[in-house]
Each structure stands twice: as structure tokens, then as C-alpha cells.
Amino acid sequence: MIADEPLVVGRHSFRSRLFLGTGKYPTFEIMREALEVSGTECVTVALRRVALGGGQSLLDFIDRKRYVLLPNTAGCYTAQDAIRTALLAREAAMSDLLKLEVLGDRLTLLPDPVETLTATRALVKEGLTVLAYTSDDPVVAMRLQDAGAAVVMPLGSPIGSGQGINNPRNILLIKNSLSVPVIVDAGVGTASDVSIAFELGVDGVLLNTGVALARDPILMAKAMRLAAESGRAAFLAGRIPVREYASPSSPEAGKIEAAGNR
Amino acid sequence: MMSTETTIEIEVNGDVKRVPDGTTLADLLKDLRVEQQPVAVELNRTVLKSSGFERLLRAGDRLEIVTFVGGG
């Protein structure tokens, strides 16, 4: 039986190929349990102005010995803002990992590939390990790899939409044309979306809303873990080709004579 | 009676704040009760290394103090 290899991102190595966001959970306690049940080893976090005066902090609920922090630049609309946020995130996390997200439209929250490319170049030069969130355009994905992105992260569908993998053929093209890992990021609505992504051969899936806003986030986290495992296993096992017509599973030879028919 | 302590005006996360002259950034973080969290600080648009937190604050300094929140 084929054994899977860990996913290597920069100087980190992950056995779980599922990456979870930490936003929008009903409570920090539910988030903590969902992360645990999902089996993830890497979680995304956002950077915001600190609440002056103290209080409960997200990081009180994330065991940093267990999870690698992946800070994002969510909410940035220009390369300049994303770079500024990224450099602050590096100091706060004391880590080189960065999910670069530069958006181009406030309604669809679709990524801005031009600004993303500019920011990728600058941040790679700064020594960051850039995981670049982008559209599902195979040419843009190649450009990001050329710019030094450690991972290219095409969207399945718009952030928080739950539409799943809208363009599996493009995801497949991206995976097949890049040498860096490909992680599908955004749009996952339910477990089968995760399986579909892994069956296409991608190296990882990053999701947040699909778990955080499920009726039972903890149970959904389990479903996502199982879907990741089964989709990845199906990919490694090698699916059969799709045929136009049927192909009998039982032998044709040695059948008893059919009664009544010829 | 007038206080002998002089204060300076700085800006923290967009709000004007007065602190005693001689306050370091590390003092300010403690005063704001955020020193237990992983924070990063931008001083006058330059990101500081944590070794720079001992710096004395000066009048007119503009600070952004950020930390991690939930996000995807």
C-alpha cells in the first residue's frame, strides 16, 4: 500500500494536509475543539489593532507547540498594505510563514493577481515564506511560482461562499503545471468539496467558514478530516479512467444458459 | 498643586494619548495590559524588532500595536 509523505512548506513539515482558519467560530472554546478534531497542524490568523486594556486573546486558545501559525494579510487591497501587514505579522508571530492575500473587489472578495504578484516579489526578497492566495488562473499561478511563492493557493470559489470547487479543470491544470505545492484555499462548503480537491491531486486544502459556521463546527471538523484523508487516499490509489460505456465487474464467461431469451 | 511630572502626547492605534515623559515602549505595553500577548509594533511607520521596545517614547510618536485575531 502506498504511504503518503508529509507536506513540506519552507522549513515546516505537516502530516495533516488540512489547514484551518480561526475566524467566525461561535466561541474560542468551540474553535479549540474543532481545530483539535480536524487534525490540522497549521492554522491561519489575522492581524488587527490590539484591544487596549487586555482581555481574552485568541492565542490563549491556540497551543503553539501543537499548531504552526500562518498569519494572513486578509483585508488588504494593495501590495503596499499587504507588505506592511506581513512585516508586522512576522514580528508578532516570530515566524517566516505568511498567507498573502490581496483582494481586488469588495463584493466578491476575489484576489487581485497583479497586486499579489508585486507583494510576493517584495516579501520573498524580505525572506518570507509566501503562501500566495490567488484566483484559479493557471498562468497567474505560474507567475507566482516564478516570483518565488513557496506555495500557490488558488481559490475553490469566493471566500466564505461555500460554493465548493467551481473550476476543477483549472485546479488540475495548476497542480500539473507547478512544482511548488498547491493548496486550495477558500470556498469549501462541505466535506465532499475537500475530497474533490484532494482527488484532483492538490497538496492541501485551507478552509475556515465551512467549519466555523456549520451548525455543529466540531462534527464538521471531523467530517473535513475524514474527507481530506479519503480524498488524498483516493488520489494516491489512482482512480480508474472514466469510460463512455459500461464494463462488467463479473466475468462474461461461464454464465448458465439464459432461460426464455436467446 | 501642580504635578512635577511632565507628559508627552503620542498616538496609539489612531487615538491620542498622554504618557509621562520618560516612558518606554515596554512601559506603555504593560500600561495598556497587552504585554502578555504576541504583539508587533510599528513606530512612525517602521516595524520594530522586540529588542527595540526599550526605546523611550517621544512627543508626536505614532504607534500601531497589533496582535492576532481569528481569521481565515
- Residue A133 in contact with residue A113, Cβ under 8 Å? no
Q: Residue B2 pLDDT > 60, yes or no?
A: no
In chain A, the residue whose alpha carbon lies closest to the alpha carbon of B72 is A21
Q: How many CB pairs under 8 A join A and B?
A: 110
In chain B, the residue whose alpha carbon lies closest to the alpha carbon of A133 is B72
Percent pLDDT > 70 in chain A is 98
Interface predicted TM-score (ipTM) of this complex, two decimals: 0.88
Cβ-defined contact of A24 to B70 (cutoff 8 Å): yes
pLDDT of residue A257: 82
Percent pLDDT > 90 in chain A is 89
When CB atoms are compared, the residue of B34, B38, B72 closest to A23 is: B72
Beta bridge pairs of residue A184: A205
Give Cβ neighbours of residue A227 (< 8 Å, ≥ 6 apart): A191, A192, A193, A194, A195, A198
Active site includes A175? no
Cβ-defined contact of B72 to A58 (cutoff 8 Å): no
Q: DSSP letters along A141-190, please?
A: HHHHHHTT-SEEEE-SSSTT-----S-HHHHHHHHHH-SS-BEEES---S
Q: What is the pLDDT of residues A108-130, one digit of tens each?
A: 999 999 999 999 999 999 999 99
**Neighboring chain B residues of A24 at a CB cutoff of 8 Å:** 70, 72
In chain A, the residue whose alpha carbon lies closest to the alpha carbon of B43 is A88
Split at pLDDT 50, 70, 90, the class of A2 is confident
pLDDT of residue B4: 63
Nearest Cα of chain A lies from the Cα of B30 at a distance, in angstroms, of 9
pLDDT of residue A178: 98
**Neighboring chain B residues of A63 at a CB cutoff of 8 Å:** none
pLDDT of residue B24: 94
Looking only at the bridges linking them, the beta strands covering A68-71 and B15-20 are: unpaired
| B37 secondary structure, DSSP code | S
Of A59-68, A174-183, B31-40, B63-72, least confident by mean pLDDT is B31-40
Cα distance between residue A179 and residue A99, in whole Å? 18
Split at pLDDT 50, 70, 90, the class of A160 is very high
Q: Rounded mean pLDDT of A89-117?
A: 95
Split at pLDDT 50, 70, 90, the class of A52 is confident
Q: Rounded mean pLDDT of A87-108?
A: 95
Split at pLDDT 50, 70, 90, the class of A262 is low
Q: Rounded mean pLDDT of A165-185?
A: 97
pTM: 0.90
Cβ-defined contact of A49 to B64 (cutoff 8 Å): yes
Q: Residue A88 pLDDT > 70, yes or no?
A: yes
**Residue among A65, A99, A125, A175 flagged as catalytic:** A99
Cβ-defined contact of B72 to A89 (cutoff 8 Å): no
Helix axes A217-237, A28-38, angle to 10 degrees: 20
